[in-house]
Chain A
Amino acid sequence: MTTHERLVEDLYRRRPRSRFVRLSAAALVVLAIGAWFVGDFPVADLLSNASGEHLSDFAERVVPQPVRGRAFDGGVVLAWAGDLMRTKGWTAAGRTFAISLAAILLAALAGLVLCLPAARTFATPEPFLPGASAPGRLTRLAWTVVRVGVRTFLVFLRSIPEDVWAFLLFGILGANAWPAVLALALHNAGILGKLGAEVVENLPPAPLRALRGLGARRTQVAAAGVFPAALPRFLLYFFYRWETCVREATVLGMLGILSLGTWITDARHRLHYDELVFWILVGAAIVLVGDLLSTILRGAVRRAS
């Protein structure tokens, strides 16, 4: 074997690989394919005559009402769309944005509080300065319980979908905007809390250790060291989750809280499929505007830090 071949052989042996990653990928593929055989999916029905009739009926109704059955006229369609926007659209779009904003701000406040006791570096007997003292076994255990408890709570918050939270809260709080706002806030507090905890754990340790070494208390280290250092990353995650909130806020109105989703449900019940598709397009536009705003703001935050 030449040196060359040995080198190649050596490189091959040192190639990055992990049995866990490969097994996981295989499991995902098996699940994804197997589900099609296990599940009772009426694939044949999709291509049947009945669904074809259904579809042609839908195609008829999807043509905007003023031009249905006659020649297409762009001006008339625009007037129709403008009218819809004036009477319902702008208010609904504004409220959709308002719901997403109120929710993400609440979620961020909750996440800021919850990320500290969920962070491994903070929720210990000696935050940021391990080995400074010899804590008793009980103190250590207590902090572990707090950390695991908060983390489990965060997983619970985010594992329940927004729409389920909204449905449950709607039954309790009645018809105002709070169920939608709180539902989004609960779910996203779980996510922001977890992401925040990771940010806190990955902060450069030196300044925090120095503060602690100078005798700062836990809360003082958090206020003077953790939050200022973590703010840029927090803001990035905040805007990233806000995008999702805007997306979710467009549909939460389906429960009867006035936002875009309300008009979608309304159009569906009246079988006005032209309006239905129009509102869905408005929803897509709202999401795109939200994405754009968030991208711009994230860029600004990244440049400032």
Chain B
Amino acid sequence: MAPDAVALRRPFPVGTRGLVLLGLFGAGVWALCALDLGLGQLVPGSGGLLVAQRFFGRALSPAVDWEGAFVPPGAPAFLVDALEAAWTTIVVAAAAMGLSLVLGLGLGFLASTAWWADEPARGRSGWRGLLRRFVAPALYGAVRILIGCMRSVHELLWAVLFLAAIGFNPLTAVLAIAIPFGGTLAKVFGEMVDEAPRDTARAMRAAGAAPLQVYFFGLVPRALPDMTAYAFYRFECAVRSAAIMGFFGIATLGSRIQQSFLATNYGEVWTYLYLTFLLVAVLDLWSGALRRRVVA
């Protein structure tokens, strides 16, 4: 064998990336088998086909007026009603955002390490040292677990829980969204502050600032633009979740989509879908512009 051939010999033909890709392929095959997914099922039955035709046929001609034969007397014009549903969606999302921002900022502080972990060795005695060495880490661990629990239960499952425990109304919808969102915000906010540039913090500490002063005036302001951009992204998600909560009966876009689809008023469904799209698209553009501003 020529020496060149040895030099050119490749390592094992598949690297880590290749293994991951192969694994994904295998997982996909397993999933298709586990779910008995056949391509045949993708072709709707005759009833489904009719629904599909009539539904997608209205994609480009959304309704501008009530479509049902019966319109309850005193009902507002269709578009006014649709805008009302959109407004309710925004209000529920914003209220949930308010609550989860409070939760996120409060728990986010406890879920960050910057205000106790990288303090220098000075002041290791007395109650401050005790606080820093034992109380703060314990609190950090406990809050991390709490955040994990809040986040890992889906907002719709929180909604089901509230529905069972105290009944469902706009307020419980807000709580159902705010709990998992608060957990997510806390996790991300805490990590953003921990990853903020430390130059200011170091300078302040050298000048004799107390740990909390360093945290709130040296670290949080550095992370604030990032946090704003992320909060906007979560607001976008909150709007989607608020729309979904309509499936449980509050007057957001989800309830209208459900009612109109079941009543086979497909044009109305498309109007609601496009309204959801508009709401989300505006927030998406806004948060995109924010992120560009932050990066620049």
CB of A276 within 8 A of chain B? yes
The answer to whether A171 and B51 have CB atoms under 8 Å apart is yes
The answer to whether B232 and A160 have CB atoms under 8 Å apart is no
CB of B209 within 8 A of chain A? no
Known: A39-B95, A164-B257, A276-B160. A248 touches B20 (CB 8 A): no
Query: Distance (Å) between the CB of A105 and the closest chain B CB?
Result: 4
Query: Distance (Å) between the CB of A230 and the closest chain B CB?
Result: 12
Residues of B within 8 A of A161 (CB): 240-241, 243-244, 254, 276
- Give the CA-CA distance A300 to B18 in the complex, in Å: 12
- Give the CA-CA distance A176 to B28 in the complex, in Å: 17
The answer to whether B20 and A235 have CB atoms under 8 Å apart is yes
Residues of B within 8 A of A232 (CB): 17
Chain A residues 81 to 128 lying within 8 A of chain B, measured CB to CB, are: 94-95, 97-99, 101-102, 105
Q: Which of A156, A164, A277 contacts B254 (CB 8 A)?
A: A164
- B32: nearest residue on chain A (CB-CB)? A102
The answer to whether B225 and A21 have CB atoms under 8 Å apart is yes
CB of B163 within 8 A of chain A? yes
Query: Distance (Å) between the CB of B283 and the closest chain A CB?
Result: 9
The answer to whether B280 and A155 have CB atoms under 8 Å apart is yes
- Please give the number of chain B residues whose Cβ is less than 8 angstroms from any Cβ of chain A in the complex: 81
Main secondary structure of the interface of B (DSSP, over half): helix
- Give the CA-CA distance A288 to B144 in the complex, in Å: 13
The answer to whether B20 and A300 have CB atoms under 8 Å apart is yes
The answer to whether A159 and B164 have CB atoms under 8 Å apart is no
- Give the CA-CA distance A250 to B52 in the complex, in Å: 26
Residues of A within 8 A of B243 (CB): 161, 164
Residues of B within 8 A of A177 (CB): 35-37
Interface string of B234-252 (1 = CB under 8 A from A): 0100001101100100000
- Give the CA-CA distance A33 to B17 in the complex, in Å: 47
CB of A254 within 8 A of chain B? yes
The answer to whether B244 and A164 have CB atoms under 8 Å apart is yes
**Which 9 pairs show the lowest CB-CB distances between chains A and B?**
A32-B98, A159-B280, A304-B16, A35-B94, A35-B95, A102-B31, A98-B34, A98-B31, A287-B152
